[in-house]
Structure 1
Amino acid sequence: MDYKRYTHIGLITSPISLANRNQLANLASILYSISDSIFFITGNAGTNIFENDKKVHLYPVKYTIQKNTFLKIVAYMLLQFRISWKFLKIKDNAEVWIFFHGSGTLLIPILTAKLFRKKVILMLPGSSKALKYAKDPFYMVVKTLECINLLLADKIIIYSNILIGEWGLEKYHYKISIAHEHFLDFSTFSLTSEYKERQNLIGYVGRLSEEKGILNLIKAIPEIIKWNNNIKFLIIGDGKLRNEIEAYLIENDILDYVIFSGWVPHDELPKYFNQMKLMILPSYSEGLPNVILEAMACGTPVLATSVGAVPDFVKDGKTGFIIETNSPESIFRNITRAMESPILNEISTNTVLKVRSEFSYDSAVKNYERVLYSCY
């Protein structure tokens, strides 16, 4: 398909972890299709995206997360100056600069871009609210920086109109556009195991951290097993709560019901999704979790909290199930409701049709064509 083309586009992110690499790779791929060249500042797991492509000019930045609070602050300030210095070297190559992962706190690079009269697009894959639920000591600092950057940005991209109210963005409505970098490779993420033949396996995929609601899920497991002791749980991911979770399972003598896989390669996820009867994501805060869409593409119904853009795609009783709250009691009640649903097979079919119709590569590119057109 032919796309509208823009000469040069700048893309800046904080150094990312492996968990965010696929998201960034998707965005880079979209921009690749609608530009003659990309000037790309990123770091860590993002540095090998299109690394040998002459059309993508990569400027890597290294960053090591410090444990000591003072060193963490110093390291992050130095990171901002390093990103700004890289930008200064290449600033004349693009008029429009998209700030993606970590964009909410990249104040110095954004100020630098504005100083040189560049158009700044702030893309928010998430909100500082996630840090609040994670009980992060830097929550208020991040929130303040985010507010300043929202004021400075020429355009703000979010995943859904729902997020305008949920994230308190009403006063910026005049410069908000709706777009996302989500698209799926349906040759990889597809239904390969008949849904009705699957065992009673409930899956979770994500970080083991407070804002994901994983502790509440774990605390719901004893009651779920009392209700049906043929159910097993598969936890894919890792994080700082791993030891606390395992201690709780041992204390309640239910460790045998839970399988920990750690992080698995992204291209192996379909194998696991095709084993699940249900996937649950009981988060306190989200943007648009790619893992939900990937599970749905594999015919796995999703049970999720009504946060971020989730309600746009997970329709209760049609393409999945919505949890009213993520308390252990609510999780237990809704898992039983979902597993007992007489139309689970129908919902499985609906999930596949939903994502295939709305998350193709072409639709994602068209969204970004529209957003960028308004900036030129």
Structure 2
Amino acid sequence: MDIKIAKNNQNYNVGMLFPYVKGVSQLFLKQFIEIFKPLYNDIFIISIDIVYQCNDGWICDNNVETSEAIKPFLIRIPKAIISEIKTSMNTIRILRRIDIIYFNSPVLGNLIFPQLIAKFSSKKLILITGGTGSECVLGTHDKPLFGSSKYFLYKIVKLIEQINYSLSDIIIVYSDVEISKKPGLEKYSRKVMGYGRRFVDNKTFKVKKDLCKREIKVGFIGRFAQEKGISNFIEAIPLVLNNKENVNFLIIGDGPLLKDVKTSLKKMNLQTKVELLNWIPQDKLVSYLNELKLLVIPSYTEGLPNIMLEAMACGTPVLATSVGAIPAVIKNGETGFLMENNSPVCIGENIIMALGHPNLNKIVEDARILINREFTYGAAVNRYKEISDSLSSTMKDKYLYNRII
């Protein structure tokens, strides 16, 4: 596909705030750098340790996740403060060389100080929404904090999100349905630009094995973290096996709940029915997706998960919770399946329903056509060009042409 890019966009330099450039964030970075390459002159990644210049792209480390256990809340506070300070210092270092800063909203990992520094320096801030910490807290945190309920933590996290919404010049959502679903976002709807794009490499992610030739295997592929609903998925497995003994399961990933995942599988005596694998390189992922009869995404919060798009491109039906932009892509019973919630009972019942659905082949084909039509590289680049162009009228000439290097 030809990608038409206005010449003046090449005058912009862009920075991306990513304190930790390890783990699955590398996959996010790699895709967005590919989108930004034809749009901007210089591309910088501002991390906690260093500033990377990434004009030629990003090479992911195959060891893309660590299984570091979740730290207690009081230990995470000083770590977050140190992250803020170091990332802010690197932001100051590179500030004169950039015009626009993109940042995303990681779950329970939002920054404030770097955005404030950029804002006071008249830089344009673009927030790419994803899963939110406030949604995660409401869904997963049950233990009291400092003697009060989880709503104390919810209020803190939501306040940070509100500050980020307020500082942003543009807030990118993947679908308009997110505006009303994400706590507090509706107030800033005038800043929102819908349909931020992801893309799927359809030369890599494609059907290699017809659905009818695959064994009955249900998969979870993602980060082992509370917000991803991995514990609920594991608890649903015995419920499925009580109804369908011939189902096998594949779990791929890593993360802070790895030890809990292994313990749960052993405690439930599921080792013979569940294959557990660490993260695999992207070029190997397509083979595993082509072995699945169903992929389950039981998240509490999401933006637009790439694994969903990649599975659909491979002819693998997806069962997911109705969070983030997922309902904009999956139409229940048409291009996939949506769950009312991610309780183990609901997950189990919906897995059984989806595996026995009479129109499964048509659902798979319609989903594949949708991905190949709407989620192309060209469509993603052109969409972010429109977003960048929307700032052009407010960008001051001195930041575009008389930049001090």
* Conserved 8 A contact 2:233-2:344: yes
Q: Which residue of 1 aligns with 2:284?
A: 268
1:354 to 352, 370, 373: 370
Residue 250 (structure 1) aligned with residue 266 (structure 2): yes
Indicate yes or no: 2:35 matched with 1:30: yes
**Equivalent position to 2:188, from 138, 160, 172:** 172
TM-superposed deviation, 1:102: 4.3
Please tell me whether residue 74 in structure 1 is matched to residue 83 in structure 2.
no
Q: Deviations over 1:334-363 (max 9, x none)?
A: 111111112212222122111111110110
With over 3 angstroms needed to count, the CA separation of the structure-2 counterparts of 1:368 and 1:248, relative to structure 1, is same
* Residue number in structure 1 paired with 2:20: 15
- Aligned 8 A contact 1:100 1:124 in 2: yes
Change (3 A) 1:350 1:333: same
TM-superposed CA distance for 1:10, in Å, is 2.6
Could you say which residue in structure 1 is the equivalent of 2:157?
142
Gaps of 5+ in 1: 54-63
Separation in structure 2 between the aligned mates of residue 369 and residue 139 of structure 1, nearest angstrom: 35
Q: Deviations over 1:140-160 (max 9, x none)?
A: 433222211211211111111
Higher mean displacement: 95-104 or 193-202? 95-104
Conserved 8 A contact 2:42-2:55? no
| Contact kept? 1:26, 1:181, Cα under 8 Å | no
Q: Which one of the candidate residues 276, 301, 309 is aligned to 1:293?
A: 309
**Residue 130 (structure 1) shift:** 4.4
**How many aligned residue pairs are there?**
365
CA distance in 2, matches of 1:188, 1:124: 27
Post-superposition offset of 1:2: 2.7
1:195 paired with 2:199, answer no
Q: What's the offset of the Cα at 1:271?
A: 0.7
Tell me if the contact between 1:129 and 1:285 (Cα under 8 Å) persists in the aligned partners: no
2:175·2:325 contact (CA, 8 Å) conserved in 1?
A: yes
- 1:1-12 residue pairs with structure 2 within 5 A? 1-5=3-7, 6=9, 7=11, 8-12=13-17
| SS in structure 2 at match of 1:187 | coil
Of 295, 319, 326, the residue aligned with 2:342 is: 326
Q: 1:332 to 1:90 in 2, by over 3 A?
A: closer
Distance 2:114 2:232 in 1: 38
Specify which structure has the bigger relative contact order, considering alpha-carbon pairs within 8 angstroms and separated by 6 or more residues.
Answer: 2
Are 1:16 and 1:101, in contact at CA under 8 Å, matched by a contact in 2?
no
Quick check: 2:44–2:54 contact (8 Å CA) kept in 1? no
Does the Cα contact within 8 Å between 1:189 and 1:298 map onto a contact in 2? yes
Tell me whether 1:259 sits opposite 2:264 in the alignment: no
Distance 1:91 1:65 in 2: 34
Aligned counterparts of 2:72 and 2:225: Cα–Cα separation in 1: 19
Q: Note closer, same or farther for the CA distance 1:4–1:167 as it changes in structure 2 (3 Å cut).
A: same
Which range is displaced more, 146-155 or 305-314? 146-155
**Does 2:126 align with 1:121?**
yes
Provide the secondary structure at the position in 1 that maps to 2:362: helix
**How far 1:108 sits from its partner (Å)?**
0.8
How much has 1:85 moved relative to structure 2?
A: 2.1
Q: Distance in 2 between matches of 1:139 and 1:178?
A: 26
1:306 aligned to 312, 316, 322, which one? 322
Asked if the contact 1:235–1:258 (Cα under 8 Å) also holds between the matched residues in 2, the reply is yes
**Which of 224, 237, 248 in structure 2 is aligned with 1:208?**
224
Give the equivalent residue in structure 1 for 2:331. Answer: 315
2:234 aligned partner: 218
Q: Counterpart of 1:75 in structure 2: which amino acid?
A: K
Q: Which moved more, 1:116-125 or 1:365-374?
A: 116-125
Q: Deviations over 1:130-187 (max 9, x none)?
A: 4403439665433222211211211111111111111131110111112434111111
TM score, norm. by length of structure 1: 0.89
Give 2:313's aligned amino acid. A
Q: How far does the alpha carbon of each residue in 1:76-109 deviate from its partner, in whole angstroms, 9 at most, with x for none?
A: 2232222222222332223322223549722111
SS of residue in 1 equivalent to 2:41: strand
Aligned-pair CA distance for 1:309: 0.5
Contact 1:25 1:49 in 2 (8 A): no
Aligned to 2:177: 162
Q: Aligned partners of 1:260, 1:242: CA distance in 2, in Å? A: 10
Amino acid corresponding to residue 78 of structure 1 in structure 2: I
Moved more, 197-206 or 146-155: 146-155
306, 330, 337: which one aligns with 2:353: 337
- In structure 2, which of residues 101, 112, 115 is the aligned counterpart of residue 110 of structure 1? 115
The secondary structure found in structure 2 opposite 1:334 is helix
Q: Is the contact between residue 282 and residue 326 of structure 1 (CA under 8 Å) also seen in structure 2? A: yes
Aligned to 1:85: 89
Are residues 51 and 68 of structure 1, via their aligned partners in 2, closer, same or farther at CA, if it must alter by over 3 Å?
farther
Alignment partners' CA distance in 2, 1:121 and 1:270: 32
Q: Give yes or no for contact 1:208–1:240 (8 Å, CA) kept in 2.
A: yes
C-alpha spacing 1:90/1:223, structure 2 compared with 1 (3 Å): closer
Comparing 94-103 with 331-340, which one deviates more in the overlay? 94-103
Give the letter aligned to residue 80 of structure 1.
E
- Give CA deviations for 1:250-280 in whole Å, capped at 9, x if unaligned: 3333321111012111221101000000001
Residue deviations 1:261-313 (CA, integer Å, cap 9, x gap): 12111221101000000001111111111110011110000011111100111
Unmatched tracts of structure 2, length 5 or more: 58-67, 146-152, 393-405
Taking structure 1 as reference, are residues 283 and 65 closer, same or farther at Cα in structure 2, changes over 3 Å only? closer
Asked if 1:151 is matched to 2:169, the reply is: no
| Residue identity matched to 1:2 | K
Q: Structure 2: how far apart are the matches of 1:223 and 1:84?
A: 48
